[in-house]
Structure 1
Amino acid sequence: MPRSLIVHENFLSRVKARDLPQGAPPTPGLAPHEMVALFRNQCLSRALDRTSRAMQKAGQGFYTIGSSGHEGMAAVAHALRPSDMAFLHYRDAAFQIARAAQLGQSIAWDMLLSFASSAEDPISGGRHKVLGSKALAIPPQTSTIASHLPKAVGAAYSLGLARRRPPEHRALPEDALVMASFGDASANHSTAQGAFNTAGWTAFQSVPLPLLFVCEDNGIGISTRTPRGWIEASFRARPGLRYFRANGLDMSETYAVAAEAAAYVRNRRKPAFLHLGTVRLYGHAGADLPTTYMSREEVETEEANDPLLHSVRLMEAAGALDPDDALAIYLETQERVDRVAAEAVTRPRLKTASDVMASLIPPARPCAPTNGPSADSRAAAFGSDLKAMAEPQPMSRLINWALTDLMLAHPEIVLMGEDVGRKGGVYGVTQKLQTRFGPDRVIDTLLDEQSILGLGIGMAHNGFLPIPEIQFLAYLHNAEDQIRGEAATLPFFSNGQYTNPMVLRIAGLGYQKGFGGHFHNDNSIAVLRDIPGLILACPSDGAEAAMMLRECVRLAREEQRLVVFLEPIALYPMRDLAEEKDGGWMRTYPDPSERLRFGEIGCHGEGRDLAIVTFGNGIYLSQQANFTLRENGVAARILDLRWLAPLPLEAMLRATQDCRAVLVVDECRRSAGGPAEALMTALAEAGRTRIARITAEDSFIATGPAYAATLPSAAGIAEAALALVRA
């Protein structure tokens, strides 16, 4: 007999026999009618769990990680406001049900549509079984390792900033708090630990952070036991984090302690940690048999502590509801869920690739018009730099000026990252910005890439336009799941209702003479090109960088896109091209109104003998190689892709169609997901036969004199181009 049926039968027989578990008397705070309402929510959560297993067995449902044993979260929801944003653990159906009840919603139909993967599911449109609701301020999560906690920290931080600088698209009320729940096993993950540390680190400095962590401690992560007392020992005395504890099997105690914790967070604007004792019934998921790794005695001991049995006991003790009436509610709820499920499984499902992909790209949103920064604001911000704008400058300085103009035009823009403020960035790209705009718009973060990205993602939930910086491309790999698993998936799994508009700046690629290894010289962008819906931009000179950055901000602000702006480190200070002190790679600052449109490629030259298709450092090197090509009578054009995801393939094919040969120059590794693979494929599929590519070797990058040995060079490009043309 499956454990779900055993738990069900135990509930029926024990309530009939008045064989209820022992426990403390009801904690004051809940009125009798509130206890009954919470019990109804718990019964609905339990019924949905049982029905989801029946649906899966019948081939009509597809996901069965349930909430049984965690029904105490209904009382946590009751202690919060419906406007408090909640990032939920996947076992928190009871929380969503109770929150829906606060607004008078009937949630069973919506959740069953999700179980059935129906296209009419109001949160994901049939793309996944997730908890979530726009009306209930519950963004959908697919995390199993608490990777939603860093963005919960960011959302909580945004509440304090929004009081001082309300953004145009503000989503949360001024007195809201943010709640994030997770399991005891997930608390051990580095992502979660980073979030706890960031929250405590922030609060330790008296920065407002109204965030309530809720740890649902059922003592086990799939099959790995959490040592008894581990969570309390780890969090009771954590700096900056107030600890609360409640018995999650007792709805009255859970409500009283959760209300106390919420009041502390809301009034003090400080984070708290609510440690909630729970049990896990049925095993991890529908296919999991807990008796394969737990003794039968252990399993039955957990089942004997069914929180619904405790609720029946508490309601009887409080005079709120007789056990027979409680049993009737339980049975009626199950019958109702079964009836609704029978209809939900008949509703249409997604069928085509276009159906599934319809929410990859978020919808545009209306934005207040802007004429750009005013002359007075520019004069005050730039000071003497205004005069310097008439003279050619290196890329780093033009990016700095572009950021300044953008921040003047859009007060909701906030920069954050390691050393971006006082120091002005490792390469000086963000220097003076903190002086110009203040420390709450140019935030020096702690050294944790997951927290940097989480800060940005969370702030975007409350209407800000974040521009986080990852100091070096290789550092992104410490935190790439924040982009792939959290930011990029949010519009997809919410059917476009929730989005993460941001512009992530990353300094990267190779050719730095003073650095080596995979930390500072890194030419791997495969992880970014692999993320559906993400836009990846890469400039090659300063003027281009300024105009592309403006377009990236427009894409994030107006079209709610997730954009990565990859800045070639080696080109930051580049001044010369053909010879020393020729100033051939410096540019004048383009007018703030000028931008390069998304997908628009650059073309240098009109030669028809050869087209060199490249980007970033490849443009600089190809320009140098072109001197040799001219000397050898080859008329070439150099095409600057600019946009590396999605690649502007049609524009590239049009721009090369009248050229006799095409050479792709890719500074990424030959077989590691660089753009050359897709470019060569597109050229071949278009019937081009005279094509070749030159790429980096499949290697890490060395330091010292060999820093460029594994990378394309001007001489190598010229040699490959001449060989292709003469073949």
Structure 2
Amino acid sequence: MDRAQIVHENFLTRVADRDFPDGVPPRSGLSDADAVSLFRSQVLSRALDRTSRAMQKAGQGFYTIGSSGHEGMAAVAHALRPTDIAFLHYRDAAFQIARAEQVPGQQITWDMLLSFACSSDDPISGGRHKVLGSKALMIPPQTSTIASHLPKAVGAAYALGAARRNTPEHRVLPEDGIAMCSFGDASANHSTAQGAINTAGWTSVQSTPLPLLFVCEDNGIGISVKTPKGWIQASMEHRPGIRYFQANGLDIYETQAVAKKAADYVRRRRKPAFLHLKTVRLYGHAGADVPTTYLPKSEVEADEANDPLLHTVRLLDQAGALSPDQALSIYRDTCARTDRVATEVARRPHLANAAEVMASLIPPKRPCKPTNGPSAKARTDTFGGDMRAMDEPQPMSRLINWALTDLMLTHGEIVCMGEDVGRKGGVYGVTQKLQQRFGPDRVIDTLLDEQSILGLAIGMGHNGFVPIPEVQFLAYLHNAEDQIRGEAATLPFFSNGQFTNPMVLRIAGLGYQKGFGGHFHNDNSLAVLRDIPGVIIACPSTGTDAAKMLRECVRLAREEQRVVVFLEPIALYPMRDLHGAQDGGWMTTYPSPDQKIALGEVGIHGDGTDLAIVTYGNGHYLSRQALPELEAAGLKTRIIDMRWLAPLPTDALRETTNTCAHVLIVDECRRTGSQSEALMTFFAEDSPAIPTARVVAEDCFIATGPAYAAPLPSKDGIVDAALALTGGKS
């Protein structure tokens, strides 16, 4: 007999015998009707756990990580408002069920069983994954396996305060709301959790509003690894800026009372709190997990004897709210109902093909108020003396700064955040004067933690802002890449487009910084971004293009709710000359605020048909340097600046190369995992008759000092490769 069946039969027998675990009498604060309602939510959560296992055995269900032992979370839901955004631990079915009781018109049993069955009728993910979540219940879906949802919960809490000071057009969360996130004691040790908790405290001690309730569900074990006794309390009780609360999660009366006290503190003080909830884990980690293979049977049985449902029946009996016989009747009826509904759900449709699965990768467009750009007076007042310089050629960094200024004047919901972006104006001066122009609420100097920077952006996107976070160097993204891959990019996928977190992530990166080494300051690998479905990657090579593309990126985020990465080549920030000293050949003028470069629109320099050079970023600059020698060799050449690296602008590439005799790809990233691999594949499949070659960086980190450019493509290397590909002369 498996442990789920043992727990089930223990409940039936012990309730019938009035054999309850010891505990304190029920506290005041819950009406009899509310207490019984919470018990019903707990029982439904338990019944769904049992039914999910039966569905899996029958080949009708696909998820068996249950919530048994954590049913006390129903009382936490009761202590919150259904409009309080909740980022849930995967064991929080009871929370979602109890919240559904607070919102009219919900069919929670049907909805959750559709999710177990991965039916395309599932109202949250459309059959893509078994996740807790509901738009109506303000529960964004996430897997929450390693507490990776905590940084965005911090961001959502910050957005609640920020929206009071600067209300965005698409605000979702109520002004007096709070944010809540829950997680297990094992996940509390993960860097994402520690970083988020640290960020919350760091923010709180500066008196910045951050209405966030952390809920740690402490069952004492993570799969098979035990949490040291007292560890959570010892490590969390005295965190600066965060108020600590503790409750027995087996007691719904105590849990509701303490959770309400914690929630009231967060709501009233606009400061974070940490609710430490003692729970047990029943059945093991998941369906295939047998806890007696790594735990003494006595320990497993001790947890089973502490079944929270047994505690609730005892408490309800002592309160005079429900008799044990009535509790048994509710339990049996609920189990029968879930089994009956599961039979119906098994006949509902599933996703049938790749197109249906992929349909929610791209979020839906949203209506936005029309904007005409900033007024002439607003621009004059804001730019000041910079207005006089706009007619003169400038380097890229300055044009990006001006583009950000115009965009922030146009869209009040734009918020920039990152390390050093405010007072200092960025490491390379790209965000200079922005904080003076728009204030610290819209240009936020964050702590030095990329996970928290991106979490702040994701959370603010949940409340209608258009965040423009900055990661100072491309290599630092690796510290936080899962915030893009596992959280931001997957949100529309897992929610069938119902939840989105649009943003424009600015990253200074790529190689060719003289005197700098890698892997931190010269990082020429985009592989970490290229394999994330749904993410747009933009990479300008000139200042004019950067300004126009940044405007399009903001439009994509604001109107189409996309996650966009705007990759800025550091080495081209200050670039002025192209062929010789003081020729000014790489500086450009600032385009008027209404000019954009559309997604998928490539840049073309020249109209030669002997050779097409397909490139981007620093590769474009080097190819332009090589152009005079190629033309002197008789090669009529055109240079195609991709601009948009993902999705690959295949239509434009086909149109701009199909009349050329040869194609040379110049890619400053490494031979392995680079954009050139996708381009070589594209041309091989699309235009196999056109000879194609590539110039790429070596599979190597970049050295510091004079050898910085040795592994990277060069002007001479481009010339040599072009001559070798074409036979030397057309």
| TM-score, normalised relative to structure 2 | 0.99
Cα distance in 2 between the residues matched to 1:707 and 1:354? 45
Residue 356 (structure 1) aligns with: 357
Aligned residue number for residue 662 of structure 1:
663
Q: Does structure 1 retain, via aligned residues, the 8 Å contact 2:509–2:523?
A: yes
Partner of 1:26: 26
Q: Percent identity?
A: 75
User: What's the counterpart of residue 679 of structure 1?
Assistant: 679
In 2, the alpha carbon distance for the partners of 1:112 and 1:212 equals 29
User: 2:43 maps to which residue?
Assistant: 43
- 1:719 deviates by 1.1
- 1:514 Cα deviation from its structure 2 partner: 2.3
State the match for 1:62 in structure 2: 62
- CA–CA distance in structure 1, aligned partners of residues 635 and 78 of structure 2: 75
| TM superposition shift of 1:681 | 1.3
Residues 144, 183 of structure 2: 8 Å contact kept: no
The answer to whether 1:545 aligns with 2:546 is yes
Per the alignment, residue 174 of structure 1 pairs with: 175
| Alpha-carbon distance in 1 for matches of 2:424, 2:194 | 27
Which residue matches 2:474? 473
Partner residue in 1 for 2:588 = 587
Cα deviation, residue 517, structure 1 = 1.9
| Residue in structure 1 matched with residue 7 of structure 2 by the alignment | 7
**Structure 1 partner of 2:447:** 446
Q: Hey, what's the Cα distance between the residues in 1 that align with 2:457 and 2:84?
A: 19
Partner of 1:615: 616
Distance 2:282 2:634 in 1: 77
Q: How far does residue 32 in structure 1 lie from its aligned partner after superposition?
A: 0.9
Task: Quote how far apart the aligned CAs of 1:211 are.
Answer: 0.1
- 1:487 matched to 2:460: no
Preserved contact between residue 506 and residue 565 of structure 2 (Cα < 8 Å) = yes
Match of 2:328 in 1: 327
- Paired position in structure 2 for 1:244: 245
- Give, in whole Å, the separation in 2 of the partners of 1:680 and 1:289: 49
CA distance in 2 between counterparts of 1:143 and 1:352 reads 27
Aligned partner of 2:142 in structure 1 is 141
Matching residue of 2:394:
393
1:101-250 matched pairs, under 5 angstroms: 101-104=101-104, 105-250=106-251
Give the partner amino acid of 2:14: R
> For 1:691 and 1:43, how far apart are their aligned partners in 2?
64
Q: In structure 2, how many angstroms separate the alpha carbons of the residues matched to 1:245 and 1:106? A: 32
Matched residues in 1 for 2:353 and 2:518: separation? Answer: 44
Q: Residues 284-308 of structure 1, C-alpha deviation per residue, up to 9 Å, x if partnerless?
A: 0000000000010000000000000
SS at the partner of 1:19?
coil
Return the letter of the residue paired with 1:60.
Answer: Q
**Residues 699-718 of structure 1 mapped to structure 2, 5 A cutoff:** 699-718=700-719
1:82 corresponds to 2:82 = yes
1:249-270 C-alpha deviation (Å, 9 max, x unpaired): 0000000000000000000000
Partner of 2:283: 282
Answer yes or no: is 1:270 the counterpart of 2:301.
no
Structure 1 counterpart of 2:56, which letter?
A: Q
Q: Residue 251 of structure 2 contacts residue 311 of structure 2 at CA under 8 Å; is this kept in 1?
A: yes
1:691, distance to aligned residue in structure 2 (A): 1.2
Give the SS at the match of 2:101: helix
Does structure 2 retain, via aligned residues, the 8 Å contact 1:209–1:271?
yes
Tell me how far 1:634 sits from its aligned partner.
1.4
**Is the contact between residue 649 and residue 679 of structure 1 (CA under 8 Å) also seen in structure 2?**
no
3-state SS of 1:695 partner: strand
- In structure 1, the gaps of 5 or more residues are none
Task: Report the residue type matching 1:46 in the other structure.
Answer: R
Residue identity opposite 1:75 in structure 2: A
**Residue 688 (structure 1) shift:** 2.9
Runs of 4+ in 1 over 3 A off after TM superposition: none
**1:692 aligns to what?**
693
Q: Which stretch of the first structure deviates more once superposed, 102-111 or 212-221?
A: 102-111
SS at match of 2:640: strand
Deviation for aligned residue 1:194: 0.1
Could you state the TM-score of these two structures normalised by the residue count of structure 1? 0.99
Name the counterpart of 1:627: 628
Q: How many residues align?
A: 726
Give the Cα–Cα distance (whole angstroms) in 1 for the partners of residues 474 and 156 of structure 2: 25
Whole-Å separation in 2 of the counterparts to 1:479 and 1:683: 33
The amino acid that maps onto 2:83 is S
Secondary structure of residue in 1 paired with 2:709: coil
Structure 2 SS opposite 1:10: helix
8 Å contact 2:201–2:241 — kept in the other structure?
A: yes
Cα distance between partner residues in 2 of 1:399 and 1:517: 25
**1:473, distance to aligned residue in structure 2 (A):** 0.2
- Letter in structure 2 aligned against 1:248: G
Q: Is the 8 A contact 2:663 2:690 kept in 1?
A: no
Deviation per CA, 1:28-65: give whole Å up to 9, x if none.
10011111010000000000000000000100000100
Q: Deviations over 1:348-372 (max 9, x none)?
A: 0001000100000000000000001
**1:106, CA displacement in angstroms?**
2.8
Alpha-carbon separation, structure 2, partners of 1:610 and 1:415 = 41
Whichever residue aligns with residue 129 of structure 2, its letter is H
1:415 is paired with a residue whose SS is strand
Instruction: Supply the distance in 1 between the matched residues of 2:37 and 2:137 (Cα, whole angstroms).
Output: 18
Using the alignment, how far apart are the partners of 2:297 and 2:681 within structure 1? 58
Offset from partner CA, 1:498-526 (integer Å, 9 cap, x none): 01110000000000002102000000001
1:649 aligns with 2:658: no
Aligned partner of 1:725 in structure 2 is 726
For 1:432 and 1:248, how far apart are their aligned partners in 2? 50
Q: C-alpha root-mean-square deviation of aligned residues, in Å?
A: 0.6
Q: Which region of structure 1 is more displaced relative to structure 2, 18-27 or 649-658?
A: 649-658
Q: Write out per-residue CA displacement over residues 149-185 of structure 1, whole angstroms, 9 at most, x where no aligned residue.
A: 0000000000111001110000000000000000000
Distance 1:172 1:95 in 2: 19
How far apart are the structure 1 equivalents of 2:593 and 2:576? Answer: 22
Measured against aligned partners, the alpha-carbon deviations of 1:447-502 in whole angstroms (never above 9, x if no partner) come to 00000000000000000000000000000000000000000000000000001110
- 1:292-350 residue CA offsets vs partner (Å, 9 max, x unmatched): 00010000000000000000000011010110100100000101111111101100000
Query: How many Å separate the matches in 1 of 2:717 and 2:337?
Result: 72
SS at 1:262 equivalent: helix
TM-superposed CA distance for 1:142, in Å, is 1.2
Residue 280 of structure 2 aligns to which amino acid in structure 1?
Answer: V
CA contact (8 A) 1:43 1:333 kept: yes
3-state SS in 2 of match to 1:707? helix
Q: Deviations over 1:655-712 (max 9, x none)?
A: 01111111000101001x2111111111111223421111000000011100100000
